[in-house]
Every structure is written in C-alpha cells, then in structure tokens.
Structure 1
C-alpha cells in the first residue's frame, strides 16, 4: 500500500464512479476515542476555557448523549469493553497489568515488565481476547470490512483483536505493553489512517478506523502554540498543559474529519466519539486528582457519547437518557444490519424505544494491578448503578472493609458531594439488591430474593 496508489484510487472513485451496487455498500465507521479526558472538558459541554471547535461541530451534527458512562474508569478494561460490548467481569480483562509470578512481587515496575517470566504471564493474560467476538472481527466476517487499529492497544498484536490492519505489533522489545508504534498516531502523524482509507476505497471495501491516540493522556507536553492559549487562564501550569492537550486532541480529530469531507466520505461514514475514562488534573503535577480516573465517581466514569451518520441519525442533544460504552457495539451492528453476538448487555442507542425504556446502567471498579488471572472478584473494589436520578456505589467488603455504601442524587449533585444513603434507606436497599442481581459475587447474593417496593422499583 502506497500513498500515491491510494490517492489514485480515490481519484478514480470520485471521477469515474462506483458501480451502482456499490452505492448501497455498508457505511464506513470511524471511532474517535480520547484517552483520559473529563466529561466536562469540551466546548460543547460548557467548559469556559478549553477550545474544541471540531468536536463541538461534530456534536452539533450528532445524536449526543451527555449522560454517557464507561463501566470501568481504567483504560485497558474500558477499551476491552468498547471492543467487545461486554463488561470487564465478563470479558475478564479487569486491570492494566497482571500479577507477577512468585518471587518477583518486589521488583520495580520497569524491571518487572522486562522480566521474561513476567512477559509470559502478560501473554497469558492477553489470551482473554482470543475468546471474544470484537467489532473488527464481526465486521469483517459478516460484511467484508477492512479495519485499522491505531493508538492505545493492550492486547498484543492488532490481529488478535480482529483488525485486518494496524500499527501496534505487541512485541515487548518494541514497547508492546499498550501500543508501541501505534502511539505515534495523533501525536506525530495521521498518515497511516489516510493511507488506510485510501487503500480501503481502492479495494471498494467498507472500513472501520479505531482512532485511539494517547491524547490528552500524559505526558502533557502540548505544542507551545496551543499551550499559549491557556497560560493566562489558570495559575496552575499543569492544568494549562492538560487543557492544551485537550485542544490538541480536538485538532487531530478535525484533521481526520476534514479528510472524510475532502474525499466525500462524510455521508456514508458513521462517526462515533467517546472517552475511555475521565480525568481531573492535579494542580501541581502531571497526574490525576482524586475522584477522577480509576475512581467510581463521575469524574472517572462519565463521558459524552456522540453518533453522526448524515441522513440516518437525527442530530439532537440528549441530556436526559443514560448511555454506556457497552451500547456502542450493538448500536453499530444494528445500524449496518449485522447480527450481534448472543447475550450482549447493551442496547441500540438509535432505537428510541430502547433508550426511553432504560432506567439503569451499571459499572464496576477494579484494582489497577490484577489480583488473579481468571477471577475478577479478586480485584473488585466497587460496583455501581445509576437509576434515573440516583447513583449507588457498593464497595466490595472483601477489599474495602471500611468503605460505606454511597447514594447520590446525581442529577442535582453531579459532583457527588452529599451521600444521602442514610436518609433514603429504601432506595439504598433496593439499588443494592439491583447491583447484586446484575452481578452477584457470592452465593448469598445469588439466592437472595428481590426486594419489594410500592413506589420505587428499578
């Protein structure tokens, strides 16, 4: 595949034309996936300083859910959930790094990751993906899509995720822990995406692009031309850097969206935008603050979700209904007429009846470092549910014996400052049981009865 051949192919397609049957080909799909970005940190979400003009425009052209969530606020399990449409406890990838083998527990992280024995453990953990049906695999098998992986990628070589093309080799010696050469995307270049799209068009194949740059993810080292926009907006340089990183991500999304427009691909391309997990930057360092990434709070789990498909999806801002990253796979498969795997827990976000009829979404928070290779409960910290206006956080007593159940009226207390569990015992009890019914982690939870309620019934 060369750039000149790809551009020649697009020239032929534009000026000679496709055969009539090709015009009914399935739509292309582009997933824009920001890395470590707060749900409020966009212009269209009302941030007073961060400039995101391209994503603002995308939001205006999309069905946009402002009450979107990811089940887990850590990158690897969150990305695996996006890829499979299943919760972390279902697909088995519940943390970023598996446990070290016996005798290596006290090694520093850098040395541990280079140890041959530990690399074998990492390879065994990656094998979870071999049991899963993924976006690119389903798209290729059912409708002949070609697909490209770029950016963050934890699951070995891109082909193990079902991608036909990719940037990440997964070779440990090349930095294969979470993306290796794929991490150049966005920060250094977008050319691999442009070349891939040209190749797909030349082959008259529908395409899927996984654009997951390490943006605005740390290291927060934005170009000075962008940082200059924020130096005088905050007394905290580290926050200014993070804001500039958000604009940098937006800028790269604009370049990709402009490419679709330039080659007349807008109308037959579904563009989806989401974040892998939230972020609140510390004032004094390039790191996340509490109640942010890795936490159960909205600062870690909440995200905007936008879906653009001109002529098929009516642009609308939805500030009421709940949406989750588990919904994206069934949504896309329904849109293109593909058959979903059995038992997916998500709904089709383009089905207004399904969206109206949903009242609850669920999630789970685990340790960063996996405690057991196959038992997700061993790493579990919290489970949570949002039911309409309420959010309940249920700690795992085996790992957080001192933690309290927390209940927030999330629509009026979005920063989760007031735990009202004690003042609302019935709601607390019912939502606790709903979590236990969703994912029971003990024999007692599996056999306990549903609690009755005369007025409040999830």
Structure 2
C-alpha cells in the first residue's frame, strides 16, 4: 500500500510538472505572438547635444544614457520641422508637414486683444479647425494600432484638438479653447506633477489583457524653466548664467521622469514585451541672459540646433543595441518602424523607412526637412509660409531659402563631418554639391507657389 501511494504521489507530481511546463510554454508562445507594448517618449525643446551620451560635459542624463546604450540609437537623427506642432504631427502620421498640412503652431489672424487670452483662443480654434480636419484625413498611428486591439493613452503636448481627435483610447488633453485648450492643457501636468496617469493606464491595459501605446510628450524641458530646487542649485554652481543653469536642470528633471518610466517597466516585468522609442520634437539653445528664451540657430531654425535629435529604439531580445553615429534617421521613420515591429503591413504612401531594415536604411540617399513661420499665414494653403527646404546627405547639408518669402537669404551648404555647428557656408566653393543636392530636394518636393504640386 505504501509503495502504491508513493507511486501515485510521484505520478501526480510528474503530471503537475508537465502541466506547469505546458502552461509556461503556452504563455511564452502567447507573449511571442503578441505585438509589443509601445512607449513613445518625446522630449520638448532640447538640443541634440544636451545629453551625457552625446557629449555634454555638465548636463547629467543617466537614465537616457542607459536607454541609448540599450537601444538602436541614431545620434544623427532629425525631425521634419523645427517647431513642435508640425513636428508632432509628423511623428504620429509618418508624413512631412507639406503632406499632413500642419505647418505652424497657430493660424495668423488679426486680433485687437491679448494673444493667448480666452477670446484669442476661441478665434484661433475656429480658424485652426480647418487644419485639424485636414490632419485627421490621414491615418494616424493610433488608428493603425487599433487593428491589433491596442489601448492607447495621450499625455503631454497635443495640438490637434482633444485626445479623441487623435484616436487615443484614453487621454489627458480636452482641447477646449474656453478652458485653455491649445497645445495640451491638462496633459501638460504629466511629468511635472508625476506619472500616475501612465501607471494607472498600464495597469488598466494589463487587466484588460491588451497591448498598450503610451504617448509621453511632457512639457519638459520646455519653458517655463522651473526645476526642482535641488537641481537648480546643482547647476547654478556649474553653469555660466542662471538662465542656462535652469535649462540644464530641466534637462536632468526630464531625464529623471524617463528613468521613472523605464524603471516602472522593469518593476512590472514588462520591459521585454515593450518597444521604447525616443525622439525630441525640436531643438533648443538657451539664451544666456534671458530666462525661458531660445537663442538664434535653435528652435524654429533649419540649423542643427533646430532639427537634429537623437532617435532610439529599444526592445530587449528583438533589437540589437547599437550606437550609430553616422547613419541618418528621421522622425518620419518612427511610424514605419513601429508598423514593422507589430507585423502590420507597410504603407507605401509613407516616405519613411523601417530603421530595423538595415538595407533599406543604408540605401536611402538623403533626408529632408521643412522650416516655416510660427503662424500659418493661409490655412487654405498652409505651405505658403515656408521659409526653408532642407536636404541632408551626410556629410552635406543644404539649406534652400524660399525664393518668395526669403528672397534675400543665401543658399547655405555645410560639411557636417568637419563643421558640426555650421559655421562655414561652402555653397559658393562647392557649387557642384549644391546643384546635386538641390535636385534631390526638388525631386522630393517643390512648393506650389514655386511651381510645384
């Protein structure tokens, strides 16, 4: 009887072990077939070299340094425009501004009262609705992810109405001009006042057994530069001026929030199931003696300080980490890359490439960008306020000022391998390069007011 009981116990234990192993195998197979969670981190107004891993000697960004080391990282990344609204619109559509129609932050109109007042906000929105409707005619990343049952969350900067207008499942931005809804409203508290909305959302997605997409676009390090006191004191001892110190402190504050998010993924044991993507919407160079003001050749400009950004793609076990300091990549590559990671069919209408496809990435000859005035002069023809078309064929960078809007501005050509801060215009002595790259730019896009389509 004893031997029979022992045999029965061993048999049940063996069956239990087999069942447990089968369950684990089934769970691993289910996770392998499920598309990744996606965390999209978007910095707001930060120069490409204001990180530890890009060589800044004072600003400490340990969490983003770690992310860069664990990612496929392009230090030579670019956005499509040096201004947040059109740049963000490109990130979620995968299109250039002249394609999605969002070329400025606000429509230009006459107003007798104070700019940004409730009355101005109402008038602005009435005119900007035309831009929003045009934008919504293009498939958004959120809509593409709906095909795979993603739950999506909008936080931080968002210009295109409410989060519902962006086809997010959940969100913080209401977009109501009567309540200050211009570029993020309640969403702008994320990061500055904690990350609980994101944590709660991830818990909800887990309870519903749905993959998630988080749009984390905090108002950081964007002005107003109001860092925590300990960070401000730290950089006051390092920076040449208080204005620069506060900006540097904001960069580290933003880094801390990124670290909190990435650590949360680790704590929830979902890092290996999550694709983390990083980009900045546009650059910033702090004006030394004017708090909260940007200097020339940064935000809104076609120079590296306006359009260059690191780009990172991290997915443990799926994307091999690499610090790429030569290959060019663009924010228009984010949507095609996410589609590929999710095994969604590519969209041939998108101008970007999947950066995980090394052959496609290296076969691309050039990247392009556009710079516009802050305000859209004509909502019926949003490209009318164009300032520059930009052609990037490393090491060459060509700036073509719009001949209608900026007839007195010179064509500029820079060799970025020798002149990364664009101090020497080589357009006259290297005219053959100007001619060659201008043809690439013209083949890409000629604005209607210059005879294009």
TM-score if structure 2 supplies the norm length? 0.91
Are the aligned partners of 1:437 and 1:445 in contact in 2 as well (CA < 8 Å)?
no
Choose which of 121, 141, 144 in structure 2 pairs with 1:135: 141
Are the aligned partners of 2:302 and 2:390 in contact in 1 as well (CA < 8 Å)?
yes
Choose which of 57, 60, 63 in structure 1 pairs with 2:72: 63
Counterpart secondary structure, 2:226: coil
Match of 1:22 in 2: 30
Match of 1:349 in 2: 355
In structure 2, what is the Cα distance between the partners aligned to 1:112 and 1:398?
Answer: 34
TM-score if structure 1 supplies the norm length? 0.90
Listed as ranges, the matches of 1:185-204 within 5 Å are 185-204=190-209
Choose which of 363, 375, 396 in structure 2 pairs with 1:369: 375
Match of 2:245 in 1: 240
Choose which of 91, 101, 118 in structure 2 pairs with 1:92: 101
Q: Post-superposition shift, 1:106? A: 4.7
In structure 2, stretches of 5+ residues that fail to align are 1-22
The question of 1:81 aligning with 2:86 is answered no
Q: Post-superposition shift, 1:351? A: 0.6
Choose which of 270, 292, 295 in structure 1 pairs with 2:298: 292
Q: Post-superposition shift, 1:357? A: 1.1
Match of 1:37 in 2: 46
Q: Post-superposition shift, 1:191? A: 0.2
Q: Post-superposition shift, 1:136? A: 1.1
1:391-438 per-residue CA deviation (whole Å, 9 max, x = no partner) reads 000000111010010000112101000000000111111212221111
Whichever of the two has the greater Rg, that structure is: 2
Counterpart secondary structure, 2:53: helix
In structure 1, what is the Cα distance between the partners aligned to 2:388 and 2:172?
Answer: 34
In structure 1, what is the Cα distance between the partners aligned to 2:248 and 2:330?
Answer: 25
User: Across the two proteins, how many residue pairs are aligned to each other?
Assistant: 428
Counterpart secondary structure, 1:210: strand
In structure 1, what is the Cα distance between the partners aligned to 2:425 and 2:72?
Answer: 32
Listed as ranges, the matches of 1:36-435 within 5 Å are 36-100=45-109, 104-111=110-117, 114=120, 116-140=122-146, 142-285=147-290, 286-435=292-441
In structure 2, what is the Cα distance between the partners aligned to 1:98 and 1:19?
Answer: 54
1:304-329 per-residue CA deviation (whole Å, 9 max, x = no partner) reads 00110000100010011000000000
In structure 2, what is the Cα distance between the partners aligned to 1:50 and 1:254?
Answer: 15
For the structure 1 residues 126 and 55, does the alpha-carbon distance in structure 2 shift closer, same or farther, using more than 3 Å as the test?
same
For the structure 1 residues 331 and 22, does the alpha-carbon distance in structure 2 shift closer, same or farther, using more than 3 Å as the test?
same
In structure 2, what is the Cα distance between the partners aligned to 1:444 and 1:235?
Answer: 45
In structure 1, what is the Cα distance between the partners aligned to 2:450 and 2:59?
Answer: 48
In structure 2, what is the Cα distance between the partners aligned to 1:164 and 1:314?
Answer: 31
Counterpart secondary structure, 1:229: helix
Are the aligned partners of 2:121 and 2:177 in contact in 1 as well (CA < 8 Å)?
no
Are the aligned partners of 2:118 and 2:177 in contact in 1 as well (CA < 8 Å)?
no
For the structure 1 residues 116 and 168, does the alpha-carbon distance in structure 2 shift closer, same or farther, using more than 3 Å as the test?
closer
In structure 2, what is the Cα distance between the partners aligned to 1:129 and 1:190?
Answer: 29
